[in-house]
Amino acid sequence: MLRRLLLVILVATGLVAVPTAAQAATYSAPLSQAIAELPVAGEVRTGYDRDLFRLWVDADGDGCSTRNEVLVQEAEEAPSVGSGCALTGGRWYSYYDGASQTAPADLDIDHMVPLAEAWDSGARSWASATREAYANDLGDYRTVVAVTDSVNQTKSDQDPAEWLPAQQQCRYLREWVAVKHRWSLSIDSAEKSALTSLASGCSGTITVEVVG
């Protein structure tokens, strides 16, 4: 529930545009088809600055930033939430490396499609409010995920043509493609080739609410 609040609040306050009820779009397709239907375009890094994506806001005013909302939502064993949303205790499973972590400091909140990759793939044309909504997207569990910090740092801003997690690669591909569709982001030719090849050994359907 916490993960869906940000988008609701942003829409209610008019900070980000989403389709009207008549235009609302839910995209659903098998993985291979979902990859084929992503638009292909060259990436453009010109003008990118991480600070153009405002991170870890407290959209619902409950004292917890997006980072801590994700940690609370994804915990295998729930942490205690103290004053100022300080988290103590808890356990988290990082599916990228199959490791469990018990200290929030050992976890990064990874943007499945990294901010730089999103910029390259279309976010450079977004309004600042839309970039903020993307960077703090609690409306879909696949956009941001808690993972072991060192693994996330190894991933950096690479796409699946350049980096894959050691564990659950099919899940990772499905979630990558879902986020690209959710936010109407493009893929480049190398990315499409890699996704198509890798997905040949994977199954599953991509279902996602399109907001970008």
DSSP strand E in 12-106: where?
Answer: 25-30, 80-81, 87-88, 92-94, 99-101
pLDDT beneath 50, residues of the chain:
1-23
Nearest one of 144, 176, 182 to 160, comparing CA atoms:
176
Tokens of 52: 């153009």
Q: What angle do CA 175, 180, 184 make, to 5 degrees?
A: 150
Strand 107-111, strand 25-30: pairing:
unpaired
Helix (H) or strand (E) holding 87: strand 87-88
Give the count of domains, the chain: 1
Question: What interhelical angle do 128-135 and 2-12 show, nearest 10?
Answer: 170
Nearest one of 163, 143, 166, 144 to 155, comparing CA atoms:
163
CA atoms within 13 A on the CB side of 211: 23
Helices marked H in the chain — which ranges? 2-12, 31-36, 66-74, 115-120, 128-135, 149-155, 169-182, 189-199
Nearest one of 136, 134, 70 to 104, comparing CA atoms:
70
**Could you report how far apart the first and last alpha carbons of the chain are, in Å?**
21
Are 128 and 169 within 8 A, CB to CB?
A: no
Find the domain containing 136 and state its range. 2-210
Nearest one of 183, 40, 55 to 123, comparing CA atoms:
183
Residue 147: per-residue pLDDT: 98
Residue with tokens 């808890």: 90
Rounded distance, CA 210 to CA 184, Å?
7
